[in-house]
Structure 1
Amino acid sequence: MRFDHQTLPQRVRFGTGEAATAVAAEVEERGARSVMVIAAPSESELARTIASSITVTLWWDDVAPHVPIERAERARAAARDSRIDLIVSVGGGSTTGLAKAIALTERIPIVAVPTTYAGSEATNVWGLTTESRKTTGVDDAVLPAVVVYDSRLTLSLPVALSVASGLNAVAHCVDSMWAPNSDPLNRALAEEGIRAVAEALPRIAQEPGDVAARERMQYGAYVSAVAFASAGSGLHHKICHVLGGAYDLPHAETHSAVLPQVLAYNVGASAEAEERIARALGASSAVEGIEKLYRALPTVRALREVGYQVEAIPESVALILPLVPPSNPRDVDEEALAALLRRAYDGQPVA
């Protein structure tokens, strides 16, 4: 066994009902003098509650999916003008993504307070969209210095979005099995992440107010993102980043539609991934396990449900194919990729 693994430096404050206290403690310990709070309009009231014990210099709510570059530039300029020395982001992946866009150029530390299971808060990956093309990169400066997990903040997240966001966490794990920097440590974390998420999501779907299930889901989402941050982006995320940026598709739902197809395409070519995923899902095979999980959840199975057009498949193939990682366990050509996207478009069960 031989590998080179890097663990990212990050503090995690995990405590239900303790978000406001944790944020205030971080501001005090860091001696922050000028704090910027980022939250989408739908999260503004929640953000003000969480920040009730700190002095906020700048409130910012110009948040959009896939982080359009023009919005990032406006937020960066505002942070510079206000001499911001700490960012507190309250929300899902789009909010965290905007905070990362600011940190990328301004080198300002982030305290992330997630309200979904996106996992972006645990990675050093950034993404920006320019003229319908999404660009991603890796830079340790965008890794939030602190993540504050408070499961009560996810109770208002609708079941459908909870499920789609949770399946995005499973996608982090699946990609971690064969991404460019995959190693035994992040594959072990990925297996644990799948196990935790698969246990929590059906409980959340049945009883949205189950705080223990929400805690288990946040734990699973974090473990999944840590694995992904180490392993890098595999075929699944390359596909979803292109589709989201090029066609303005909703992030979480796009992941939930594409995930089963990528898993079914790749898993037969990786014995270790097959064994780990099947074991985590409590099934005799990875494909059987993912189908069992999807049948237990109200979730998006088809890209056509989120606005993707079948006529876009040839263009999508041309955009995705150059990005396919060499580490992918199966070769990917135009025909195979087009067939995968067609199955995802139709939402076909995998076999």
Structure 2
Amino acid sequence: MHLNKVSLEARHISLSYGSTEVLKDVNIRIEPGEFFALLGPSGSGKSTLLRLIAGFNQHQRGELLIDGKDITGTPPHLRNVGMVFQNYALWPHMTVWDNVAFGLVERKEPKESLRRKVAAALELVGLQDYAQRRPSQLSGGQQQRVALARTVVIEPKLLLLDEPLSNLDKNLRVQMREELKNLQRTLGLTTIFVTHDQEEAMTTADRMAVLDKGVLQQVGTAAALFDFPANRFVASFVGTANLVQGRVTRVNGETLHFQADGLGEMVLPRNQESPGAGPASLSFRPHTVHIRVRDEHGDASRIWLDGRVESSEFLGETSRYRVRVGEALIVANQAHYSGLSLFPPGAEVRLGIEPTQARFLTH
């Protein structure tokens, strides 16, 4: 089973319910065969956009194109788009085989072809031995696979997944993430999935779009969004970020001077992304911050700040500290090795910020 690869493009899509704008001028292009995530908090518009692609709701402005053809007025059953819902929506009274065959029966698929396609879909998800079971006799992960098989068996142009892993426990989620990725690679099917879980998006998607309050914030690979967030929202939603407000007071040659609220002046190297004078936020990730005892000298390439540990969390691979520096609270992660004891609350420490890993955000 190898399916068609199609592109999807949203051009200036806007949708309102009454006076509430749910999607505001959204522009995205998803490439043929791409595994694409729509990421955002509850109420960001990501599920609305997915349902709009499926045809379950209708935008008031803009165009929605599959392979360059506007499908705005096309009803759901004529779009040939497959959707897997969060709760799987399997028929409890039907066997796995009949659940998977359902869409083909509806389409009056000839018997021989139907048998061949259902068998291929079950084999694809590793459930060929479970064909005669009922959904209630399956685990959550197996039900998820049945829902996937039932969707891909109709050979859709697009596969849409709505929070596909949210009903599974953590270990199974990680396993199913791998399976989903492998299945998508095998099929080469353009796939769009909605999630509020940044880890899920970062580990599976080729690229992702971050939405907030119906507005598209940024599109790119996980690494691009993590390393070069477009704004404060993306910086804090994709991963964990320290955001220090302040203003750039002076820019000269190779350096700029940043007056950080509650922290005082920092002198940082200037690069092509550096802003001019004016209000800005400095963003840097906790794992790039060095933490050490107060009287230890650090290397001169870092910006060193003196602080006091307010709290610590042991996360296994890392220890996470919240450190009070002046009026600011800075989060620093330290890689954990056995025998390394935690800094206790109240400990006087120095934090080293790596300037090359810091980013200026102006909105």
TM over 0.5: no
> Which of the pair has more CA radius of gyration?
2
Length-normalised TM-score, structure 2: 0.30
Q: Which has the higher strand share?
A: 2
Q: Which has the higher helix share?
A: 1
